[in-house]
Amino acid sequence: MTDPTDIAALSFEQALAELERIVAELESGKAELERSVDVYRRGALLKAHCEAKLKAAQLQVEKIILGPGGPVGVEPAEFA
């Protein structure tokens, strides 16, 4: 259940929706202990994935090329 490779393929919106479902499940208190640990682990991976996607978007926005009259284009962000 905590396979990071399937998480890497998710869009930000898909990962966030799954993370919200996990939070709701954990908050309900109805899951058994082992299931809770598994979904918590997956939730942590989803959270990290969402944060990385947001950081990438932030870098792209920061790469907007400004000209004398305002934005004139964008440069691709460099990701390490």
Measured distance CA(60)–CA(76) in Å, rounded: 7
Q: How far apart are CA 24 and CA 60, in angstroms?
A: 32
Domain ranges of the chain: 4-74
What number is the average pLDDT over the span 62-80?
A: 66
CB atoms within 10 A of CB 67: 8
- In angstroms, what is the C-alpha Rg of the chain? 18
User: Would you say 46 and 18 are in contact if contact means Cβ atoms under 8 Å apart?
Assistant: yes
Q: Given a cut of 80, is residue 70 above it in pLDDT?
A: no
Distance from C-alpha of 21 to C-alpha of 23, rounded to nearest angstrom: 5
Pick the CATH number of 4-74 from 1.10.287, 3.10.560, 3.40.1000, 1.20.120: 1.10.287
Mean pLDDT of 4-13: 92
